[in-house]
C-alpha cells in the first residue's frame, strides 16, 4: 500500500494502538492505548492503571495473570511509512520499559485517587516522531460538542487482541448510560456506557462523533464534517453479579462498562505522580 493511501485513513485510527504487556520475554495480556499530544511535539501514551500494573484496580493484591507475573515492559505497533521509493505503510513493534533500572515506575497515576482512578500515562518524549501517529486530543478536538445521557459513542480498541487493517483498532458502538455531567464523590470521574466490549479493550478511547454537524455546549448548531470529541478512556465492567450468580455469566450479560472522563487524563498528565515501584503494592 503506498504512502499516499495514508491520507485516506481516518486520522483517529492513527491515535490508537494495541498494547501487549510483557514480563521480561513472557507475553501477559493484550490491551489498548492511545497517543496524547503534549507541548513541543512530545507525546504520551494513555491506558488503564490495571494494564501497566498488571493488578486489579479495585483490589491490587490480585494480579491479572494467573502466574502472578506483573509487566515490566510493553510492546506497541504504531504505523510508519518506509523511506524507500515505494513508501509502504507498515506497523512496527516498539518496546517501552515501564520501570527504570532501580525498579521505579516511569509511568504516572492519579495524584489523589491512585489506583482507584484506572488511568495511567507514560511519557514518550519525541520517540514517536518517526511514526505516522496523531495525538487523539489534537484530532478528536471538538471540545465544545455537547455530551448528554443517551448519546451514541464509539469505543476504539482491540477485542481479544483482534485487528483487521494494518493493526488499526476496531470501532465498537455504545451509548452513554449515566448522567455525564453529574456525579457523586464515589464516581471518581467515571460514567457508564452501554456497550458490548471484550477483553483487550481496556484502555480504549471513547469518542463522540458527528458526520455533518453537532450541537455545542450553548445549544447552537455547528456545521463541521466528521467532528469528534474525546469522552474518556474505557476501563472495565463493574462487579454486578448477584450473590447466587456466576460472575462470568453476570458481567457479560450486563454489557455495561466504566469510562473515566477525559478530565482525569489531563489530571494525570499535569499533576500525576509516579506509580508504585515494581512489585510494590499501592
Residues 43-59: pLDDT tens digits? 999 999 999 999 999 99
DSSP 91-135: E--EEEESB-TTS-BSEEEBTTTBTTS--EEEEEETTTTTS----
Q: What is the pLDDT of residue 92?
A: 85
Q: What is the pLDDT of residue 129?
A: 86
Helix (H, G, I), strand (E, B) or coil at 61: coil
Q: What is the pLDDT of residue 4?
A: 61
Q: What is the pLDDT of residue 183?
A: 80
| pTM for the full predicted model | 0.91
- Give CA–CA dist 79/28, Å, rounded: 23
Helix (H, G, I), strand (E, B) or coil at 43: strand
Q: What is the pLDDT of residue 24?
A: 96
Q: What is the pLDDT of residue 80?
A: 76
Phi-psi region of 248 (alpha: psi -120 to 50; beta: other; left: phi over 0): alpha
Q: What does the block give as the cell for 119? A: 488511568
Residues of the chain with pLDDT under 50: 1-2, 240-251
Q: What is the DSSP letter of 29?
A: E
Q: What is the pLDDT of residue 118?
A: 96
User: Could you tell me the sign of the dihedral formed by the alpha carbons of 148, 152, 157, 159, in that order?
Assistant: positive
Amino acid at each position: 500500500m503506498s504512502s499516499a493511501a495514508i491520507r485516506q485513513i481516518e486520522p483517529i485510527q492513527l491515535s490508537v494502538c494495541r498494547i501487549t504487556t510483557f514480563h521480561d520475554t513472557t507475553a501477559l495480556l493484550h490491551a489498548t492505548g492511545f497517543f496524547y499530544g503534549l507541548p513541543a511535539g512530545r507525546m504520551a501514551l494513555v491506558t488503564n492503571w490495571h494494564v501497566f500494573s498488571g493488578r486489579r484496580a479495585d483490589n491490587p493484591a490480585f494480579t491479572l495473570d494467573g502466574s502472578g507475573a506483573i509487566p515490566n515492559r510493553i510492546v506497541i505497533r504504531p504505523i510508519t511509512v518506509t523511506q524507500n521509493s515505494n513508501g509502504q505503510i507498515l506497523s512496527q513493534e516498539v518496546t517501552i520499559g515501564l520501570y527504570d533500572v532501580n525498579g521505579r515506575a516511569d509511568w504516572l497515576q492519579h495524584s489523589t485517587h491512585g489506583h482507584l482512578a484506572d488511568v495511567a500515562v507514560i511519557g514518550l518524549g519525541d520517540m514517536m516522531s518517526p511514526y505516522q501517529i496523531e495525538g487523539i486530543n489534537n484530532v478528536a478536538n471538538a471540545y465544545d460538542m455537547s455530551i448528554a445521557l443517551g448519546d451514541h459513542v464509539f469505543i476504539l480498541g482491540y477485542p481479544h487482541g483482534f485487528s483487521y487493517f494494518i493493526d488499526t483498532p476496531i470501532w465498537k458502538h455504545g451509548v452513554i448510560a449515566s448522567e455525564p455531567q453529574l456525579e457523586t464523590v464515589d464516581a471518581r470521574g467515571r460514567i457508564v456506557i452501554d456497550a458490548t466490549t471484550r477483553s483487550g479493550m481496556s484502555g480504549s478511547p471513547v469518542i463522540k462523533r458527528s458526520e455533518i454537524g453537532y450541537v455545542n455546549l450553548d445549544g447552537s448548531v455547528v456545521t463541521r464534517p466528521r467532528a469528534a470529541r474525546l469522552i474518556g478512556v474505557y476501563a472495565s465492567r463493574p462487579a454486578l453479579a448477584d450473590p447466587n450468580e456466576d460472575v462470568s455469566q453476570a458481567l457479560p450479560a450486563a454489557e455495561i462498562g466504566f469510562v473515566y472522563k477525559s478530565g482525569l487524563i489531563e489530571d494525570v498528565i499535569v499533576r500525576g505522580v509516579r506509580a508504585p515501584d515494581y512489585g510494590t503494592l499501592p
